[in-house]
């Protein structure tokens, strides 16, 4: 996923605010799922929700106003109730800006862990 850095992504020095990377990673994960035919809104309507259980971020270089970032998303691990994603952000010069590891857990409407639906698992493992 590519994203352009706008003024509202930055701090007063024109550097991307560190917390914005979590937004970028979430958007990239959503696109990753959508590209595989998994639509978060439809799952939510069925009572299936993925929540972030853990987030790690490593910052390497700053990104600046007007940069373009490319976010690469990979599914690192898939278990009965958990998905682990790695997202890597690179700038327009192909330099690694930051990376993040996100642990997501499948829950129901009661916010208790539940099994990831089989049709979702099949779509995630199709290319693996």
List, by residue number, the catalytic residues: 11
Give the Cβ contact number of residue 33 at 10 Å.
21
Give the Cβ contact number of residue 127 at 10 Å.
7
The rounded radius of gyration (Å) of the Cα atoms in the chain is 16
Q: Quick one: CA dihedral 109, 112, 117, 120, positive or negative?
A: positive
């Amino acid at each position: 996923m590519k994203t352009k850095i706008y003024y509202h992504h930055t701090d007063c020095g024109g550097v991307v605010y560190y917390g914005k990377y979590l937004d970028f990673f979430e958007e990239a994960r959503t696109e990753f799922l959508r590209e595989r035919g998994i639509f978060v809104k439809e799952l939510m309507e069925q009572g299936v929700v993925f929540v972030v259980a853990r987030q790690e971020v490593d910052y390497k270089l700053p990104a600046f106003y007007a940069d373009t970032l490319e976010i690469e998303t990979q599914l690192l691990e898939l278990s009965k109730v958990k998905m682990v994603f790695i997202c890597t952000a690179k700038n327009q010069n192909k330099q690694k800006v930051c990376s993040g590891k996100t642990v997501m857990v499948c829950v129901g409407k009661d916010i208790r862990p539940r099994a990831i639906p089989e049709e979702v698992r099949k779509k995630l493992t199709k290319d693996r």
